Chain A
Amino acid sequence: MKLTRRVLAPAAVAAATAGYASMNHRKPPPAEMEGGAKSTVAILKASSYSVDLVRPILDGIRACGLDVRGKRVLLKPNLVEFDHATAINTDARVVAAALEAFSTAGAASVTIGEGPGHRRDTFDLAREAEYLQFVPRFDALFTDLNRDDVSSVPQFADDGEFFFPNTALRADLMVSMPKMKTHHWAGVTLSMKNLFGLVPGAMYGWPKNRLHIIGITRSILELNRVFRNTFALVDGIVGMEGNGPIQGTPKQAGVLVMGRDVRAVDATCCRIMGVDPLQVEYLRLAAPLGRIEEKWIEQRGEKTAAVATEFALIAQFSGLRGRVS
């Protein structure tokens, strides 16, 4: 509930940040996040979903120096809800192209997994969103993460243990594939927030209300602490502005944004959307561990300014405009 989050937010965020910085992580962070190197973020233009999307994704993988050879790759799109009138989900054609691109790049396996927040019939949602139409062998490749086998991970926020789908825990590399959207609680929802879909409904319900009680910001930070080996591939070809993540309106941005540092990718997406990333609470708190500021981001492909297009924000988030450098 909003009220609960507000009441608990300061203490919870402080605890999350401390834990985030000090805890032993399950997997090593990307090498470029160690030391003083900049984080590489690739912005690739794609005017529509009808153009060749495999090539720009492959270009992005290479530009970011990502080696997927021999790895079990899990694509984690954002499947939330379907409405013909707007653009809620990661487009199926981007998922299909990623499937081909990561296979071409040498992955040992590429599968797809998602656990929608409130729709229980995940396969029907995927059918509505045209995943069965555009993604070859979707039935065989897809795991409903809400109903997967699970294993526990020690310490998640204040919970002594937390359960996650085995499909996600056992992947060598997760590809977080969000839609570029505004979000009526978090401000924006991008590759870091997209990990909410890893929380199994069979354990935590539909929606995953436990995350809201922990606090959205803290949950985002904790999820990204647990799942550190994540590559971001943001579907910004047509995003969503206004009252996202479900009831907003489509917004053409014409880009795919990719990178190994999810914080740097989300910060770059914010700049494209006309949002100051340091005004987004979860990004500001993640800043010490990622490259949020532009001076720490090595931009490949298009320049941010060349593709920036202001996303409309609901009134309560007008302050996110801040200083978009």
Chain B
Amino acid sequence: MANLAQRLALLRSWRNPDGGWGYFPGKQSWLEPTVWAGLALADDRAAAGRTWELVRAWRNPDGGWRPMAAPCDSTWGTALALTLASVLGRDGPEVENGVRWLIETRGAESTLLNRILRAMGSSAVEREVKYAGWPWRRRTSAWLEPTVHALVALKKVGQRRPDALLAARIDAGERMLLSLRCQDGGWNYGSPRALGHDLPSYAETTGLALVGLQDRAPADAVEYARRIPEAQASPLARAWLRLATGGGEVQQDFGSDVLLTALASVDPGVLRS
């Protein structure tokens, strides 16, 4: 069992010399665990400044963020970087460019051509495609998790700087999430149906969806999430459900899993706008 102070101490001890975190101690730094560890340690101004400097260095010329130090395409992690920037109060051209990259990024299934083909019955996609969500990488389909992270990031930006385009993308992303709800009341990773069969929801993606929807989450969905038995939820699911429902202190250690340790240590209020 580890309490918050112990987990934060672990996170500090696992930090790589470059200032970032790997998914496991001693492994290469990645954007995802670095952002979540940075959010968990956001109150430590010196640590936060160092985290942001590293994350800032992983920007790509297209405005997005790559998932690690090595040169490669921008990905969904752009949303995480923007959330970190908002929480740490960072602004500037890099943030603006990142917001632009995120607004211009949408799932390949919701392009005009694909929507027309679907209307003509030429697509086997069994989900609503008129609302643009976000993909893991450009030129691929939108999925629940990257859409959630994009919504969290853009809502934070929108809170500071109301903007019609931003509001429209947020609205579409929320509608996309609502349209993906499974018959059982929760959410899974993407489509609620495949080959004519209803698909079951998962605890972790249900938690994630509620984090993205925030005040737009249907009350019965929040109630559904609260009723998910602890035994049926993986550690990752419990982390997301806590962040979604504002649950209390976690008394658990997660071995050497940096991401889980960080997620369990983030203040749920940090993600809300």
Q: Do A and B come from one complex?
A: yes
A: residues with CB less than 8 A from B are 1-4, 118-121, 123-125, 139, 144, 147-150, 152, 161, 163, 184, 202-207, 209-210, 212-213, 243, 247, 314
Given A3-B117, A124-B234, A205 contacting B27 (CB threshold 8 A): no
- With the chains together, A231 CA to B34 CA distance in Å? 37
Decide: A149 and B143 in contact? CB cutoff 8 A: no
B135 and A3 form a contact (CB under 8 A): no
B237–A207 contact, CB under 8 A? no
Closest 9 CB pairs of A and B: A205-B136, A124-B234, A147-B23, A121-B236, A2-B124, A209-B140, A121-B234, A149-B28, A3-B123
Contact check, A209 vs B235: say whether CB atoms are below 8 A apart. no
B28 touches A121 (CB 8 A): no
Cβ-closest chain A residue relative to B29 = A149
| B101 at interface by CB-CB < 8 Å | no
CB distance from B20 to the nearest CB of A (A): 13
Query: Across the interface, do B195 and A124 meet the contact criterion of CB distance under 8 Å?
Result: no
Q: How far is the CB of B71 from chain A (nearest CB, A)?
A: 9
In the bound complex, do residue B204 and residue A121 qualify as a contact, i.e. CB atoms below 8 Å apart? Answer: yes
Q: In the complex the two chains form, what is the Cα distance from A202 to B80 in whole Å?
A: 13
**Are A209 and B136 touching (Cβ within 8 A)?**
yes
Chain A to chain B contacts (Cβ below 8 Å), 20 pairs: A2-B123, A2-B125, A120-B145, A147-B24, A147-B30, A147-B259, A148-B23, A148-B27, A149-B22, A149-B28, A150-B70, A163-B72, A184-B194, A202-B68, A203-B75, A205-B76, A210-B140, A243-B195, A247-B194, A247-B195
The answer to whether residues A203 and B108 also contact, given A2-B123, A209-B143 and a CB cut-off of 8 A, is no
B32 pairs with A202, CB closer than 8 A: yes
When the two chains form their complex, are residues B140 and A202 in contact, meaning their CB atoms are under 8 A apart?
no
Give Cα A254–Cα B68 distance, bound, in whole angstroms.
45
Interface contact tally, CB-CB below 8 A:
97
CB of A1 within 8 A of CB of B237, answer no
**Which B residues contact A (CB, under 8 angstroms)?**
22-24, 27-28, 30, 32, 67-68, 70, 72, 75-76, 108-109, 114, 117, 122-125, 135-137, 139-141, 143, 145-146, 189-190, 194-195, 197, 202, 204, 234-237, 255, 257, 259
A residues within 8 A CB of B197? 243, 247
Instruction: With A121-B204, A149-B27, A205-B140 given, name 10 new contacts (CB 8 A).
Output: A1-B109, A3-B123, A3-B125, A124-B235, A144-B23, A152-B72, A205-B75, A213-B140, A243-B197, A247-B195
**Bound complex: CA A210 to CA B237 (Å):** 25
Q: Is the interface of B mostly helix, strand, loop or mixed?
A: loop
Tell me the complex Cα distance, A4–B123, Å: 9
> A87 CA to B171 CA in the complex, in Å?
40
A213–B108 CB distance below 8 A: yes
Distance of A1 Cα from B142 Cα, bound (Å): 11
Whole-angstrom CA separation of A125 from B204 in the bound complex: 13
Q: What's the Cα separation between A120 and B188 when bound, in Å?
A: 12
Complex CA distance for A203 and B122, rounded to whole angstroms: 31
Q: Which residues of A contact B143 (CB under 8 A)?
A: 205-207, 209
Instruction: Say yes or no: B137 contacts A205, CB within 8 Å.
Output: yes
Chain B residues contacting A4 (CB-CB under 8 Å) are: 108
Q: Which chain A residues border B257 with CB–CB below 8 Å?
A: 123
In the bound complex, do residue A209 and residue B137 qualify as a contact, i.e. CB atoms below 8 Å apart?
yes
Which residues from chain A contact B190 at a C-beta distance below 8 Å? 207
Residues of chain A contacted by B24 (CB below 8 angstroms): 147
Q: A1-B123, A3-B124, A184-B195 are in contact. Are A202 and B234 (CB under 8 A)?
A: no
What residues of chain A lie closer than 8 Å to B123, measured between beta carbons?
A: 1-3
Q: Which listed residue, B28, B75, B117, B145, touches A206 by the CB 8 Å rule?
A: B145
Nearest neighbor of A149 in chain B, beta-carbon distance: B28
Q: Are A205 and B135 in contact (CB under 8 A)?
A: yes
A105 to chain B, nearest CB (A): 29
* Shortest beta-carbon distance from B142 to chain A in Å: 9
Residues in B with CB closer than 8 Å to A121 are 204, 234-237
Contact present for B108 and A202 (CB under 8 Å):
no
Chain A residues closer than 8 Å to B146, beta-carbon distance: 205
Complex: A204 Cα to B32 Cα, angstroms: 13
Task: Give complex CA distance A119, B235 in Å.
Answer: 12
- Specify which chain A residues have a CB less than 8 angstroms from the CB of B236 in the assembled complex: 120-121, 124
Q: Which residue of A lies closest to B122 (CB)?
A: A3
Q: How far apart sit A203 and B72, CA to CA, in the bound complex (Å)?
A: 9
Task: Give the distance in Å from the alpha carbon of A149 to the alpha carbon of B235 in the complex.
Answer: 22
Q: In whole angstroms, how far apart are the Cα atoms of A207 and B23 in the complex?
A: 18
